[in-house]
Amino acid sequence: HASEDEALRAFNSLVHSILPNAYDRALGQRYFQLKHYLLFGLFANGAAALDYTCSEIARDEVPRKVLGTFLLNSFLAASVWPLTMMLMEVVTSRFLHLQGWRERLFMFFAFLFGIVTPFVLVLGCASALAEEVVDSNWALAAMLLIHAV
């Protein structure tokens, strides 16, 4: 008879080998629809957008600064979060077969390069642009153009 640990390892191996194909056949390449990604972005950043915008209005900030903050946070909610989640879904679905240290290593690098790095880079650039909206018509035009696209 096999030990419980051996049985669990065998089951884990079986799941990792069968599950990716089953997901692809049942759900296709993408598991969520765009509305789900947008809803996630709204939950992830919508409350912060409302909070920052209302706090700036309460402090009687310059209207353009309020607009810049609102545009930044709505950009994060409607673009950055959904795109990051789509990317992670595609990458993760391709590597469901990994196990053990390979799985842990993949999770680390996928999180670092799939979520943290792009999000920090985009957030840094968008934040700098939002700060410039106060004084620059070009920055305001760029933020509006980003939202139009």
pLDDT at 30: 62
Query: Which pTM was predicted?
Result: 0.59
pLDDT tens track for 22-39: 766 665 666 677 888 888
Instruction: Quote the CA–CA distance of 75 and 77 in Å, as a whole number.
Output: 5
Residues of the chain where predicted confidence (pLDDT) is lower than 70: 1, 20, 23-31, 147-149
pLDDT at 10: 84
Please tell me the number of Cα atoms within 13 Å of 145 on its side-chain side.
8
- Within 10 angstroms of residue 92's Cβ, the number of other Cβ atoms is 14
Instruction: Quote the CA–CA distance of 114 and 101 in Å, as a whole number.
Output: 19
